[in-house]
């Protein structure tokens, strides 16, 4: 390769790397084994109302991108340390997490709306 050809090749390579980094930041997805977790207590009226709707989700949901999202519940009365580590301040709190990324769900506590949220992930 001539000098100009090498420079052109290097510039193209740098542009490709830059675009790959930019696109990767825009499409942050959950890396592995995401879980949609409901932190609740049995004495909380809001938790009592949301729990049946949450239970309707089943054990897992497959998002539109093909990602399997596990459904999990944590009773904060029986798992105080876990809820403290998760920084739970109110009930119910629903969080989609995978260890690297954490998205709190603040939408309606209805099965259909939670499912729509999970499908978009």
What is the three-state SS of 11-64?
HHHHHHHHHHHHHHHHCCCCCCCCEEEEEECCCCHHHHHHHHHHHCCCCEEECC
CA distance 46 to 39: 11
Average pLDDT, the chain: 86
The string of pLDDT tens digits covering residues 79-101 is 999 999 999 999 999 999 987 88
Question: Above pLDDT 70, what percent of the chain?
Answer: 81
Q: What is the pTM of this model?
A: 0.72
**What is the per-residue pLDDT across 46-83, written as a single tens digit (0 to 9) for each?**
999 999 999 999 999 999 988 899 999 999 999 999 99
Asked whether the beta carbons of 51 and 76 are under 8 A apart, the reply is no
Residue 27: which pLDDT band, with cuts at 50, 70 and 90? very low
pLDDT recorded at residue 52: 97
Query: How many Cα atoms are found within 13 Å in the side-chain-facing hemisphere of 117?
Result: 19
- For residue 97 the two structure tokens come to 């997490």
């Amino acid at each position: 390769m001539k000098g100009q050809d090498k420079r052109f090749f290097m510039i193209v390579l740098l542009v490709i790397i830059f675009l790959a980094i930019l696109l990767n930041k825009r499409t942050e997805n959950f890396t592995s084994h995401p879980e949609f977790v409901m932190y609740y207590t049995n004495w909380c009226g809001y938790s009592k109302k949301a729990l049946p709707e949450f239970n309707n989700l089943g054990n897992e949901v497959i998002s539109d991108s093909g990602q399997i999202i596990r459904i999990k519940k944590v009773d904060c009365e029986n798992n105080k340390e876990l809820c403290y580590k998760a920084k739970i301040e109110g009930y119910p709190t629903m969080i989609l997490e995978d260890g690297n990324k954490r998205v709190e769900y603040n939408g309606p506590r209805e099965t259909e709306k939670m499912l729509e949220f999970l499908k978009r992930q």
